[in-house]
A and B are shown apart, each in its own frame.
Chain A
Amino acid sequence: MLSIDRSIVDAIVAHARRDHPDEACGVVAGPAGSDTPTRHIAMDNAARSMTFYEFDSMEQLRVWREMDDRDEEPVVIYHSHTATEAYPSRTDISFAGEPGAHYLLVSTREPDSEEIRSFRIVDGVVTEEPVRIVDAGVDPHAVQSYMFGQSPATVDYECSGR
């Protein structure tokens, strides 16, 4: 299960929309061992492609060193698919080199709803996991869970009586 603050998800979706139709990519860092994503870092897609993404190697070195200095690790590694579903491609699986990370995929193929899904990818094996979006600033009990590609726009928000 990935628990992630709504403001971070919103920032990721905004990044994916901004770069559409090219794929967008980035990281959410968090304190080492916490499994809690806290710091969103939008990365350049050095490939600038609609079907491929790649971190710029020098930007990656800088960001990874910064995480190291702050005792953080890449809790979430995200990218968008802009014409296909939010499911890891064979390319994604081949490259997945952070066994501790949640691989978050956002599909922007629909113009007014996003598909957000999260996966563990370890030794070539893909395991989907639920995404729990937390409204930290609003109400600690106001929580939505999404699984298996439901779009946030289609889920009733039961705690929203305000």
Chain B
Amino acid sequence: MAIEVRIPTILRSYTGGAKVVEGTGDTLGDLLTDLDSRHGGLKGRLVTDAGALHRFVNVYVNDEDVRFLGALDAKLNDGDSVTILPAVAGGAFGFAAAAAISQHRAATAAVAGGVRGTSSVAAR
């Protein structure tokens, strides 16, 4: 099954400049593995060594942030559209503190997963 994936500028070096590529997979993790077989290195920019979605990117399935759909376990269906955007964040805070916040958010999001509609508020 084909899933359309929109690639942000910063990652188009992995797709030969292509803005949209296609892949297959039952979950987001499977899709990224499939993409990586043709666009080597792409997965490494999206998934940490520990196997979690990287905090520097936002990934959406259709109109939903995958952090609230189970992250890499998010289920995909034929015809879904996946969008990858660089997360826009920063500030005067030290990096370690920002990383701690981000991990806390991810943990909260995991707990809140399934509580649709309120999850984006609850996770912050």
Contacts and interface: CB of A to CB of B under 8 A. Distances in A.
Most buried by A among B67, B89, B90, B97: B90
B48 interface: no
Interface of B: 8-10, 56-58, 60, 63, 65, 67, 83, 85-95, 97-98, 101, 120, 124
A56 B121 CA distance: 10
Interface residues of A, number: 38
Nearest to B59: A57
Nearest to B58: A57
Contacts of B95: 89-91, 94
Contacts of B85: 60-61, 64
- 5 closest A-B pairs by beta carbon, nearest first, are A97-B86, A92-B90, A51-B93, A52-B91, A54-B89
A55 B89 contact: yes
Contact of A49 (B56, B86, B93): B93
A120 interface: no
B91 A91 contact: yes
B87 A54 contact: yes
Contacts of A46: 124
Contact of B93 (A77, A91, A96): A91
B93 A54 contact: no
A114 to B, nearest CB: 15
B63 A77 contact: no
Contacts of A49: 91, 93
Contacts of A53: 89-91
A89 B87 contact: no
A35 interface: no
A61 B58 contact: yes
A83 interface: yes
A46 B123 CA distance: 11
B15 to A, nearest CB: 15
B9 A23 contact: no
A117 interface: no
Interface in A31-73: 43, 46-47, 49-58, 60-61, 64, 73
B9 A89 contact: no
Given A94-B56, A99-B10, A100-B9, A51 B91 contact: yes
B93 A99 contact: no
B83 A61 contact: yes
A55 B57 CA distance: 12
Contacts of B65: 57-58, 61
A132 B9 CA distance: 26
A129 interface: no
Given A61-B85, A64-B85, A91-B98, A97 B91 contact: no
